[in-house]
Amino acid sequence: MNVLDHEKLHQKYFEELSRIPRASFKEERVSDYLEDFARTRGLDYKRDTIGNVVIYKPASAGYEDHGAVILQAHTDMVCEKNADCTHDFDLDPIDLYIENGILKARGTTLGADDGMGCAYMLALLDMDTPHPALECAFTVQEEVGLNGAFALKTEYFTAKKYVNLDFGGRGKGTCTTSAGGEMVGLKKPVEYEDCALPAYRLFITGLKGGHSGSCIILELGNSLKICGRILKEISGSSDLRIVSLDGGLKNNAIPRECEAVFASGAPREQIERAMESITAEIRNELKFQEPELSVTLETAACTRAMSEETSADLVDLMYLLPTGLRHRSLQIENLPVASENLASVRCKEDYVEFQYSLRAEKMSWRDQMEKELCILAGIYDMTVDVYSKFPSWEFNPDSALRNTLLKAYKEVKGTEMELLATHGGLECGVFCDMIPGLDVVTLGAETDGAHTPQEQMNLESFDQTFEVLKTFLEHL
C-alpha cells in the first residue's frame, strides 16, 4: 500500500526511490532504475562507470532558445539506524509513515537527503510543464566525498545555469555559499596479547547526533569523546587494557553511540566510582543539548587485549583528538565557518582506525586542521590518509539566476525568500570548477534531522517547493 499521494508525481517518485536500497557505493540499483526510466520514455541519457546518470529533456515549445539548465541531486543516502532497528539497508525498503503532515521513517534515516531532489527531477522529466532544455544530473557517492560530482565530465553539459536540489533545512531560503572540506583517516598499529583479566563493556547511547555540517554549531555530544573521557578517568585509578573500540557510522554524521570493551584487574566498585564521577560532570555540561545521554557498564568477556602501553596511547588519543566547532562567522549569525568531526573509530586485526570530516569556508583553515591532525598522528605513531577533498562554493553577488528564483518564490508563496549560507558540503563548488562562469542557485523543501534516524520532511513544503521549481523554470 502506498504511503504518499501518487497523483502527485514528485511524491510518487519519492516513494519509488525509497523502495530502492541506495547506500553510498551501492547505488547500482538506483542507477539501473534511472536508466530504465529514461529509456522507456525515449529520453537521451548518459551513464558513466561510477554510476552517475544524466538524463536530457528537450525544451518545451517556445523555450527552444531560452538556454539549457542543469538540475542536480544525489542518489545515495546516509544509512543510519537506531540500535534496536533490524532494517537491512542492502535489502529493505525504507519504512515510510506520515505523522501530522511530516514524512518520517521507522528507525532509520528517511533519505530525503537527497531523494527529495531526485524525485523533483523525475517528476519534471515525466510531466508536461513549461521549461527550457533540462540536463538532469543524478550523482552518486555524494555523502562520502562528492565522488560522483568529481567524476562528471564537462562535455556532459551545455548549460551555464545550474540548480542544486540538495538544500533542505527550513525550506524558506536559497543557499548562496557552502563549505569545502576533506576526509581524514588515522590508523594506529596495534598488537594483541593473551588476557585473563575481568572485562567490561562501556556503552554510550542516547545522543542526538546529526549532520556534521549543519549541526556542529549546536555543540552536541560526541559519543567517541565522551567514551574517551570516561576511559581516561577510569585509567587514572586502575590498570586498563583495550579489547575493542566501536563507535560512529558515517564521516558526515556526529557519532551518537560508542562501545568500548576493556579489561582491568581493579575492583569493579573502583571502576564504577570513576565512571560515575566523570559521567556526572559530562551530564552537567550537556544537560541542555543531550538530556537523554545514557552511559552503561556491563560485564563482558575477553581472551586477548592490547598491551597496557598501546591501550594508554588509545585512551590518550580519544581524549586528545579534537572535534567540534573551530570558527563561526562574524557576518552571518549561527554560521560555522570551520569545524572538525571525529566521526568514527573501528578496531581491525592489526590497527585501530579513526575517521574525520573537516569543513571550512577558507581552505587555509582546512589545511591548518589537517596539519594539526598530522602532528598528533606523528606523536602517536599513526599513519594519515587524506582523501575526498572538495572545494567551497563562494558567494556570487551578481547572480541573475538567483534573482529569477527570488521572484518565482514570492509569486508562489507570497513571501520573500531568505538568502542563506551552509556549513554543509554541496556539489556546487565542484560544478563551478568544472564549468567556468556557471550561475548557481539551490532549492529544497523543509527537512530536519539529516543523517540521523530522526530525519523528516514536511510534505506541504515538499509540494510547495515543487511549485516554486516549476514556476522558476517557466520564467527562465
pLDDT of residue 333: 85
pLDDT of residue 237: 78
Confidence of residue 251 (pLDDT cuts 50, 70, 90): confident
pLDDT of residue 274: 96
Three cell numbers, residue 463: 509540494
Q: Give Cβ neighbours of residue 442 (< 8 Å, ≥ 6 apart).
A: 163, 164, 165, 166, 167, 174, 175, 426, 428
pLDDT over threshold 80, residue 168: no
Per-residue pLDDT, averaged over 266-291, amounts to 97
4-31 residue pLDDT tens: 999 999 999 999 999 999 999 999 999 9
pLDDT of residue 79: 95
pLDDT over threshold 90, residue 395: no
Per-residue pLDDT, averaged over 298-303, amounts to 96
Given a contact cutoff of 8 angstroms between Cβ atoms, the answer to whether 292 and 206 are in contact is: yes
Torsion of CA 167, 170, 173, 177, to 10 degrees: -50
* Residue type (1 letter), 211: H
Per-residue pLDDT, averaged over 61-85, amounts to 95
Which of 101, 67, 174, 197 has the alpha carbon at shortest distance from 456? Answer: 101
pLDDT over threshold 70, residue 219: yes
Indicate the burial class of 349 (C-beta count within 10 angstroms; 0-12, 13-18, 19 or more).
exposed
pLDDT of residue 378: 97
pLDDT over threshold 70, residue 171: no
Confidence of residue 167 (pLDDT cuts 50, 70, 90): confident
Per-residue pLDDT, averaged over 294-310, amounts to 96
pLDDT of residue 332: 82
pLDDT over threshold 70, residue 297: yes
pLDDT of residue 249: 86
Confidence of residue 169 (pLDDT cuts 50, 70, 90): low
pLDDT over threshold 90, residue 357: yes
Residue 318 to residue 314: CA distance in whole angstroms: 6
Sheet holding 102-105, edge to edge: 96-99, 102-105, 456-458, 447-448
Per-residue pLDDT, averaged over 358-365, amounts to 93
Per-residue pLDDT, averaged over 376-382, amounts to 97
Higher pLDDT, residue 54 or 420: 54
Indicate the burial class of 312 (C-beta count within 10 angstroms; 0-12, 13-18, 19 or more).
middle
pLDDT of residue 118: 98
Which of 5, 21, 31, 26 has the alpha carbon at shortest distance from 94? Answer: 21
pLDDT of residue 340: 97
pLDDT of residue 334: 87
pLDDT of residue 403: 97
Residue that has been written with the C-alpha cell 527570488 in this structure: 406
pLDDT of residue 394: 84
Per-residue pLDDT, averaged over 335-346, amounts to 96
pLDDT over threshold 70, residue 144: yes
Which of 198, 136, 145 has the alpha carbon at shortest distance from 473? Answer: 136
Average pLDDT over all residues of the chain: 95
Confidence of residue 331 (pLDDT cuts 50, 70, 90): confident
pLDDT of residue 214: 86
What residues does 356 pair with on adjacent strands?
184, 342
Q: Is 77 left (phi over 0), alpha (psi -120 to 50) or beta?
A: beta
Q: Give Cβ neighbours of residue 181 (< 8 Å, ≥ 6 apart).
A: 357, 358, 359, 360, 366, 389, 390, 425
Which of 169, 178, 148, 187 has the alpha carbon at shortest distance from 22? Answer: 148
pLDDT of residue 77: 96
Per-residue pLDDT, averaged over 59-63, amounts to 97
Three cell numbers, residue 71: 538540475
